[in-house]
Amino acid sequence: MSFRHLFHIPQQNGKDVIYFCGNSLGLQPKQTSAYIQEVLLQWQKNAVEAHFMSPNAWLHYHTLSQPILAQLTGANPSEVVATGTLTANLHFLLATFYRPTQNRYKILCEKGAFPSDRYALVSQIQWHGFSPENALIEVGNTDNNAIPNILSTSQIEDAIEKHADSIALILFAGVQYATGQYFDIQAITRKAHSVGAYAGFDLAHAIGNVPLRLHDWQVDFACWCSYKYLNAGPGGVGGLFVHQNTHLKPRLAGWWGHDLSTRFAMPADFIPEQGAQAWQVSNAPVLQLAALQASLDIFHQVGFDNLLQKSRQLTAYLQEKIISLNQKYQTDLIRIITPLHPNQRGCQLSISVNQNAKKLHEYLNSNGVICDWREPNIIRLTPVPLYNSFEDIDQAYQILDSYYQQI
Ligand SMILES: Cc1ncc(COP(=O)(O)O)c(C=O)c1O
């Protein structure tokens, strides 16, 4: 099963690169420009009228993505919406779910969370007049410069228990960006709820990568970006999930979250849309939604279960190759940081190397293996099942081997 031909593969020296960077920016589907072109053409020919003209009237364009986003997140379509951007959506969701009191004001997250999430959490805590020093609980190693450690579920549960009376909310990654660890979202949510806290997740590295069942797991809220595994292009439209059991929460409202049936009557008072759509704030970014749709239609065509199967095989194969390289040189040249169990990761393997990781990263990139390097000493290699192949892994292995032969 290959869907590689549906994507533009960047070239280096006349050859396809080995693109292992879908964890950062997914490749462009060949259909993306046609989807965007269609919107541009509607704008050219019909201008404002295009908001209401079928097919794909702009007023409803964001609803096209709801069924597929629902499949990818394990949600009901009304619980998800493509809107805004990740960090901004996180703030909007925190405005609803983080309502600290003198007794319950703490937020718990993983140590080494993506900086933007941490900035958002710290600023929310301060915004409400609390101090991050005692209100932000970070689970994991204490050394700020260390690679975040792999957390056991019981470690996370214990941390929640320890602050049981004072936790307002937990905000965890679905898949940790640096280590590639896929956390047990269901267990974390259950534990958070057992102490009376809300459970939210940043799914930037999880959506389109690992199986999710947000509705059944009773997750309260989640948000994500679409430029990684969803291949919607740089700065693509984000998305959010709000569980349907969430009723009558306060929110920071904007007109695009107002009930559609009266939105254009321009009423003074806000009446929320049904479900997650109520958390939309501004006009939907239709050009970006078109780019997202081009990719989501591929997910729909492929079927996520098929993709997962290939994903596990590809990542296991990469793991095998790395281990065989260590065996060849009879030393731990490369340490795999990401958990080895397939249920605890997606397609990304994060590695650390004994010697200069930056030098290895430069060698890989200049030899056509496009991957990324993250402080303090991590290279992320991500075979994405939609467009990477087993041959990509064989070639990457040869290039890694040639590096170690010459140093
Ligand atoms: C895990 C995670 N959270 C948050 C962000 C920030 O996303 P944005 O810049 O779209 O708000 C990123 C960006 O890569 C990310 O990887």
pLDDT of residue 135: 98
Q: How far is the CA of 240 from the centre of ligand 1 (A)?
A: 13
**Of 59, 82, 90, whose CA–CA distance to 239 is shortest?**
82
How confident is the model over 249-308, as pLDDT tens digits? 789 999 999 999 999 999 999 999 999 999 999 999 999 999 999 999 999 999 999 999
Q: How far is the CA of 206 from the centre of ligand 1 (A)?
A: 12
Q: How far is the CA of 292 from the centre of ligand 1 (A)?
A: 17
**CB burial of residue 342 (10 Å; 0-12, 13-18, 19+):** middle
Identity of the amino acid at 309 = Q
**Of 306, 182, 225, whose CA–CA distance to 26 is shortest?**
225
pLDDT of residue 1: 65
pLDDT of residue 248: 63
| Ligand 1 shell residues, CB under 6 Å | 85-87, 114, 116-117, 173, 177, 202, 204-205, 225
Q: How far is the CA of 40 from the centre of ligand 1 (A)?
A: 28
pLDDT of residue 146: 80
pLDDT of residue 239: 98
Give the atom of ligand 1 at the shortest distance from the alpha carbon of 90. 11
Ranges of residues in the chain whose predicted pLDDT is under 70: 1, 248
pLDDT of residue 162: 98
Give the atom of ligand 1 at the shortest distance from the alpha carbon of 205. 1
**pTM value > 0.85:** yes
What SS3 state is found at 39? helix
